[in-house]
Amino acid sequence: MKLIKPKKIKNWIISHKKTSVFLMLLIIFTGYKIVSGFSSEENKSQYITSIAEKGDIVSLVNGIGQVSASNRVDVASEVSGDITFIPIKLGDTIKKGQTLVILDNRNALRTVENAELSLENAKIAYEKSLKKENDQSENSPISDLNKAYDNGLTAISNALIDIPDIVTGMNNIFYNPTHSSYFGDININSIAGQTGIDYKYEAGRTFDSAKNDYEIVFRTYKTIRTEDREKLVALIEDTYAMAKKLQSAVNGSYNAIDYIKQRISTNIPNQIAIDKNTLGSYISKLNSHTNSLSNVLTAIEDAKDSASSATLNFKSAQLNLSKAEDSLRDAKEKLANHYIRAPFDGIIGKVYIENGDKINSNGVVATIITNEKIAEISLNEVDVSKVETGQKATLVFDAIDNLTITGTVTEVDLLGTVTQGVVNYTVKIAFDANDERIRTGMSLSADIVSESKQNIIRVPNSAIKFKGDKSFIETLDENGAIIQTPVQIGLSNDEFTEIISGLNEGETYISRSVTQSFFQTTSPAPSLFGGGGGGGAGRAGGGAPFQR
């Protein structure tokens, strides 16, 4: 093979500058498309879908601190109010949970009573809507819808009983020369001229079209099943349209024959009267069938609206019941806060209030002297705003494996301590149980439950999207296209977000998106000592991937 010398190539490029530039650009463009094609394939997005489920969300405030052997703990009120009873005095020995102070709880009691009444009403409304949702009685919306579908099939059947005879009779008038001889083109032209011919042909074209539609409807009718609701509605609509068209053809034929009759002065054929009577009966039957089919379509739409309304009413009642339960739970918690109780055993070292005094939230009512160990943790100004006395906490100790103790927040500092420009607040947590392995000064971490909700619809945080101040999730329609569905969100933590409305239990949503490379296994790196390298990245679990 003869090689081309570089000098000749250079000379050719110099002498063909435009061609050389074009070829160079073509090579660059082709390379770019190849590389971008590979890149887009590698970065192709896929979606992991999940089913909406109910669960719990717990919002935690985390802090670290130490065990303290405090012999003095201030007990504070969680609510504001008038003091009505103080069953303790200085020097009294008290037990954990013993009532120290009672605040005026009349308003709190009324709130509980109202919440209980609201809950009862919500339960009644829920049970009624549930009965309507599941009821299969004569008057239920679902039963009405089923009846409407059944009536639709019956209306089609009745129409298809009469229409074959109508089609046969019309065929005889238009296409049987021995049946209605006066209706031949020559006879019509001699009697009624071109106008009579036009009337006949206009009616005839409409009849031929209606006849074709009838054959299609009849073939579909033979394969229809009652449970195929959408196909059944489509067949009702097609039957109605076909019957209206056939009715128009019969009316046109009647008018054409009547026009011919009016132009015959003597010896009017008897067949004209017979055909007019026959066509009149056809018109009456078709009018009855079209009215019946139209009424059925209206009844189906009305029943659908009623069934949809019943479903919406049920969901609304379900939501109201959940809200009523939450309101009662909150009301009972606030009522319980009017009874200030001892967080642990001890001796009353000081009482700061008297009967009839007004006290504010977080106001100190008494000091308890005790040898009980407590946890003292430090929180920043953001986290401490979420913490209140009475909240539950979980404590884990650095030096003791597999030991977890629950506790209750007994005190939250009102004044913070500034260290290097950062404000921190001390929070004291009383242990619900003691363990002899716990020593003063041990390091610990605490998770304080600032808020929690049970049995709610929740989704991973990665599923929540935002557009401005509006939140939405992504779902898929029946064709696999992505839909942005607005949702109302509530409580959230580091993992999950509550869905208040917009997504129902059991519905599918996109929980997160990943690139194509996420699903590919990383090729093992070659070993310096021969053989394969370490294992690659495994495929992520959970959900079903949907490729777009």
What is the chain's length? Answer: 548
CB 62 within 8 A of CB 493: no
What are the DSSP E strand ranges found in 52-112?
53-68, 73-76, 81-85, 93-94, 99-103
> 26, exposed or middle or buried, with CB in 10 Å at 0-12, 13-18, 19+?
exposed
What are the DSSP E strand ranges found in 487-524?
488-492, 496-501, 508-515
Q: What is the pLDDT at residue 137?
A: 44
CB 239 within 8 A of CB 156: yes
In angstroms, how far is the first alpha carbon of the chain from the final one? Answer: 50
Give the dihedral sign, CA 226/228/229/230: negative
Q: What is the pLDDT at residue 7?
A: 59
Q: What is the pLDDT at residue 13?
A: 65
Q: What is the pLDDT at residue 9?
A: 63
What angle, 0 to 180 degrees and rounded to 10, lies between the N-to-C axes of helices 229-262 and 141-175?
30
Q: What is the pLDDT at residue 301?
A: 83
Q: Cα torsion for 341, 346, 352, 355, to the nearest 10°?
A: 50
- The structure tokens listed for 387 are 């913490």
Contacts of residue 297, Cβ cutoff 8 Å, sequence gap at least 6: 152, 233, 236, 237, 240
- The structure tokens listed for 324 are 């009523």
Residues β-bridged to residue 429: 375, 409
How far is 65 from 396, CA to CA, in rounded Å? 11
CB 397 within 8 A of CB 438: yes
How far is 458 from 495, CA to CA, in rounded Å? 10
Residues β-bridged to residue 471: 466
Question: Measuring CA to CA, which residue among 491, 509, 511 is closest to residue 500?
Answer: 491
**For the chain, what is the largest distance between any 2 Cα atoms, rounded to a whole number of angstroms?**
132
pLDDT tens sequence for the chain (548 residues)? 455 555 566 666 666 666 766 777 777 777 666 655 545 544 555 778 898 999 999 889 999 999 886 667 888 998 999 999 999 998 898 898 899 999 999 999 999 999 999 999 989 888 887 776 666 444 555 567 778 888 888 999 999 999 999 999 999 999 988 888 888 888 888 888 999 899 999 999 999 999 999 999 999 998 888 778 888 889 999 999 999 999 999 999 999 999 998 988 888 889 999 999 999 999 999 999 999 999 988 888 887 777 666 667 777 888 888 889 999 999 999 999 999 998 888 889 889 999 999 999 889 999 888 767 789 999 998 899 899 888 999 999 999 998 999 999 988 888 888 888 889 999 999 888 888 888 878 899 999 998 888 888 999 998 898 988 889 988 888 777 888 889 999 888 888 999 998 888 888 898 877 655 444 444 444 433 334 344 343 333 344 333 33
Q: What is the pLDDT at residue 300?
A: 84
How far is 522 from 517, CA to CA, in rounded Å? 9
